[in-house]
């Protein structure tokens, strides 16, 4: 996802609606009959959960990108727009629970809004829910301003993963990580 957003940014485009339903994943090495069996409502001895669990870091990084068994693509560029490196926009669009605070508050924003959404996606992948919630947009904005999100104690993360999330989910866009 990071590489995909970096490529989008290199084209001077901002996505503005990055969320898990807009991320497409393909597993290259599934058994040939897996999709046919599933489409017919049948059972297969193959388990995607076990397949992913058994992948090693070497499998994912591999000698070349072409050999990686998982392909990730960012889809739905319906809200995307061209945005120069030094430009900003103020259009209000996207999914509120994953919108950067600047979009939610009607302020000007740039490519770092996608970094916020990336952090929300990673948090959701790890925990199963979004880092910030609210009863309405104003309450959601206040919760984001407070910056209070926590990772459940049952989830063990490396210091690098925690630092990555914290850099993505900075309320202050100037401190937020960028793709540069």
- pLDDT at residue 129 in the model: 93
- pLDDT at residue 168 in the model: 94
Decide: helix, strand or coil at residue 101: helix
89-133 pLDDT, tens digit each: 888 888 889 999 999 888 999 999 999 999 999 999 999 999 999
pTM given for the model:
0.82
Catalogue the long-range contacts made by 95-101 (C-beta closer than 8 Å, 24 or more residues apart).
Answer: 95/17, 95/19, 96/137, 96/140, 97/130, 97/132, 97/133, 97/140, 98/17, 98/18, 98/19, 98/130, 100/173, 101/141, 101/144, 101/145, 101/171, 101/173
Distance CA 121, CA 129 (A): 9
User: Which residue among the candidates 12, 17, 59, 174 is catalytic per the annotation?
Assistant: 17
Q: Residue ranges of the chain with pLDDT lower than 50?
A: none
- pLDDT at residue 177 in the model: 83
- pLDDT at residue 147 in the model: 83
Reply yes or no on whether 59 is catalytic: no
- pLDDT at residue 14 in the model: 94
Is 2-28+69-168 a CATH 1.10.510.10 domain?
Answer: yes
């Amino acid at each position: 996802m990071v590489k995909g957003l970096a490529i989008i940014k290199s084209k001077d485009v901002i996505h503005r609606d990055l969320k898990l339903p807009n991320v497409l994943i393909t597993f290259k090495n599934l058994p040939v009959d897996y999709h046919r069996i599933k489409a017919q409502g049948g059972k297969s001895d193959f388990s995607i959960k076990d397949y992913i669990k058994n992948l090693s870091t070497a499998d994912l990084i591999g000698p070349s990108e072409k050999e990686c068994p998982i392909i990730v693509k960012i889809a739905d560029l319906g809200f995307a727009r061209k945005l120069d490196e030094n430009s900003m926009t103020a259009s209000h669009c996207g999914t509120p629970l994953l919108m950067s605070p600047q979009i939610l508050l009607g302020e000007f924003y740039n490519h770092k809004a996608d970094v916020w959404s990336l952090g929300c996606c990673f948090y959701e992948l790890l925990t199963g829910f979004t880092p910030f919630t609210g009863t309405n947009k104003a309450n959601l904005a206040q919760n984001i301003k407070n910056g209070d999100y926590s990772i459940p104690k049952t989830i063990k993360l490396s210091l690098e993963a925690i630092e990555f999330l914290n850099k993505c989910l900075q309320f202050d866009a100037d401190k937020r990580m960028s793709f540069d």
